Structure 1
């Protein structure tokens, strides 16, 4: 059983690992080493996301074949990050930029599913980066931590 409050507590455990760190390849490696797919924290978050989707308090909106939703608005106890979760199945989402960067947790629901070419684990995009988020080879949940909740929907350049 997972509730929004329990999920928020799990996100505090993640942001303790990311607080004050530059959003770069070193942070990505650190997250995958300390909270990777085989860790209890990753498994607890994955279970909470599956339960939240099933219970309807997560990914409650749908557009363009993507189920999505902002689960937590930018919060001081999450180092100012917001938390969004999407449920995607073999498709590309809308192009967007990350003014402050983005920390993604990739949770494949289909064994071979990839998010932007990456399987289960953490993916970090630095400030000013952009992409068309793409799930291929199956279905995945993807959790996005956005510093300051900042995201700008753009056209690919």
Structure 2
């Protein structure tokens, strides 16, 4: 497995969903057709584990989270960027999804959840926001971002005026 093979694998999903509005109907479809235990889910999970092991996925680290954008939004990915994070019992930085976000949750610990959800797909609509959180263990999460759009919320700074 390498980045090119990974792109081809991810493109099987992005081709299928290109142009479909992000929302609960898409989440239901993805979980029914490609949810935990299906061939494509297992192929994506295995590819992510290999990519982390080989160092081309999650090759950055900050605040206890390993992460990395492996593919920029392009025609090959039908306009989606692809990021993968490796998180264990931690909340990530709050951000807004201008065009929505599609997440593939792959627990490395049996009971790990992402934003309270077990293994499978989670779809956030355009304009939604969250602080991505993994609880009850460790998980890999693959993010598909339409046009690569994400807006991180400003970090609150301590009030130094009172000091």
TM class by smaller structure = over 0.9
Q: C-alpha distance in 1, partners of 2:49/2:108?
A: 9
Matched ranges for 1:73-112 at <5 A = 73-112=72-111
Larger radius of gyration: 2
Unpaired runs of 5+ residues, structure 2, are 156-163
TM-score (normalizing by structure 2):
0.93
Q: C-alpha distance in 2, partners of 1:135/1:155?
A: 21
- Alignment RMSD: 1.0
Q: C-alpha distance in 1, partners of 2:31/2:53?
A: 26
Structure 1 runs (4+) deviating above 3 angstroms are none
Q: CA deviation at 1:18?
A: 1.1
Q: C-alpha distance in 2, partners of 1:6/1:111?
A: 27
Unpaired runs of 5+ residues, structure 1, are none
TM-score (normalizing by structure 1):
0.97
1:82-132 deviations in Å (ceiling 9; x for gaps): 000000000000000000000000000000000000000000000000000
Matched ranges for 1:39-58 at <5 A = 39-58=38-57
Q: CA deviation at 1:78?
A: 1.5
Contact 1:17/1:31, CA 8 A, preserved across alignment = no
Q: C-alpha distance in 1, partners of 2:37/2:4?
A: 24
Q: Secondary structure at the match of 1:110?
A: coil
User: Which residue pairs with 2:159 in the alignment?
Assistant: none
Q: Secondary structure at the match of 2:61?
A: strand
Matched ranges for 1:3-42 at <5 A = 3-42=2-41
Q: CA deviation at 1:19?
A: 1.1
User: Which residue pairs with 2:153 in the alignment?
Assistant: 154
User: Which residue pairs with 2:62 in the alignment?
Assistant: 63
- Alignment length (residue pairs): 155
Q: Secondary structure at the match of 1:146?
A: strand
User: Which residue pairs with 1:124 in the alignment?
Assistant: 123
